[in-house]
Chain A
Amino acid sequence: DAGVIQSPRHEVTEMGQEVTLRCKPISGHDYLFWYRQTMMRGLELLIYFNNNVPIDDSGMPEDRFSAKMPNASFSTLKIQPSEPRDSAVYFCASSSPWTGLKEKLFFGSGTQLSVL
């Protein structure tokens, strides 16, 4: 398996533009998580899905952020409009019900977002 795949690896955009981050979880995994990593705040959970349904979005910072999971193999995180303070590394992670440990997360390589 190729693991969790995120695209793009790097995104540079200007303030006010729409940004869409993409994630393909590991096949068969039923949980998908979006995290944001910054130096100041560490790793923050933004939202997570179970079987494509959003379960907890309390970590989404503002209405400018939205996430979807239209099917088991694809999720997007959208920021519209983007602001410089959104600059961070965004990680997607998935987990499997079959390991007996839902909390063993498999992370993608992340998207480095820079908003100028």
Chain B
Amino acid sequence: AQSVAQPEDQVNVAEGNPLTVKCTYSVSGNPYLFWYVQYPNRGLQFLLKYITGDNLVKGSYGFEAEFNKSQTSFHLKKPSALVSDSALYFCAVRDRIGGYQKVTFGIGTKLQVIP
């Protein structure tokens, strides 16, 4: 069964500093990987995806993520954090084998950007 782990409940970073939110995954085949963001009292919003190709994928709001197959990781990054980036971030994975299968989300990591 596929799974996603987000090892940090919360990440604190000073405004202007680079940020990393960690994610590791487990699937039986090659993965589809995603990051979503949730602002308070809102639904999740799609940030970026990795399907195939370049290991560094770019998404919305200046975020990017690095796929590392050997470490089964897909960490979310941003070179310079903004206070407005403070939110809950979810990593998600879908196994690419077969037809459509459900997307499994991690438990989420709260990002706090300190002014």
Contacts and interface: CB of A to CB of B under 8 A. Distances in A.
B105 interface: yes
Interface residues of A, number: 23
Contact of A108 (B43, B46, B104): B43
Given A42-B105, A42-B106, A43-B90, A104 B46 contact: yes
B62 to A, nearest CB: 19
Interface string A60-104: 000000000000000000000000000000010100000001111
Interface string B26-68: 0000001010100001111110010100000000000000000
Contacts of A55: 100
Nearest to B32: A103
Interface of B: 32, 34, 36, 41-46, 49, 51, 90, 92, 94, 100, 102-108
21 contacts: A31-B100, A42-B105, A42-B108, A43-B44, A43-B90, A43-B108, A55-B100, A56-B102, A59-B102, A91-B43, A91-B44, A93-B44, A103-B32, A103-B103, A105-B103, A107-B42, A107-B44, A107-B45, A109-B43, A110-B41, A110-B43
